[in-house]
Amino acid sequence: MISLLQRVSEARVVVDGVVTGEIGPGLLVLVCAERGDTEAQADKLLAKILKLRIFSDEAGKMNRSVQDLDGQGACGGLLIVSQFTLAADTTGGNRPSFTQAAPHDEGQRLYDYFVGQARLAHPVVQTGRFAADMKVQLINDGPVTIPLQVN
């Protein structure tokens, strides 16, 4: 599975003019299931996301995770958005190929599983809508943007 994390001051997803998910400080998590990905990989990716120390401590060092923010009274949210374009292959020309992205049904199953596990592990989880035309608005904090991929 592939993800792109953006540390945000705030973020939201709008589908057909309606806000489907919104967070304050936390992580915007763009996530893509690739062909052959498993629930074990989703679990591994989620564990890494929750423990990744990319939030500043009192000394200004990146030393806190999104879970650590929760313990500081400023609960860090997760806004999880499906994005098959993370699987883009641009080596063959000017038009990206998305053949490595999981087929729709499998991608949705893994996305739903990932979101469900995130909701069990973290108190603030919001989402977009799988396969919808989404408008994502964010204020990137830092900016801090980190790609993650698990095999």
pLDDT tens digits along 36-52:
999 999 999 999 999 99
pTM of the model: 0.95
| Tokens linked to 100 | 């490595």
Q: Whole-angstrom Cα distance, residue 94 to residue 5? A: 26
Q: Whole-angstrom Cα distance, residue 119 to residue 125? A: 6
8 A C-beta contact, residue 142 and residue 25: no
- pLDDT score for 74: 60
Mean pLDDT of 130-141: 97
Mean pLDDT of 12-28: 97
pLDDT band at 69 (very low <50, low <70, confident <90, very high): confident
Share of the chain above pLDDT 70, in %: 96
Task: Report, as residue numbers or ranges, the catalytic residues.
Answer: 83-85
Assigned CATH topology for domain 2-141: D-tyrosyl-trna(Tyr) Deacylase; Chain: A; (3.50.80)
16: left (phi over 0), alpha (psi -120 to 50) or beta: left
Residue 75 in this model has a pLDDT that exceeds 90: no
Residue 121 in this model has a pLDDT that exceeds 90: yes
β pairing state of 77-82 and 55-56 = unpaired
Share of the chain above pLDDT 90, in %: 89
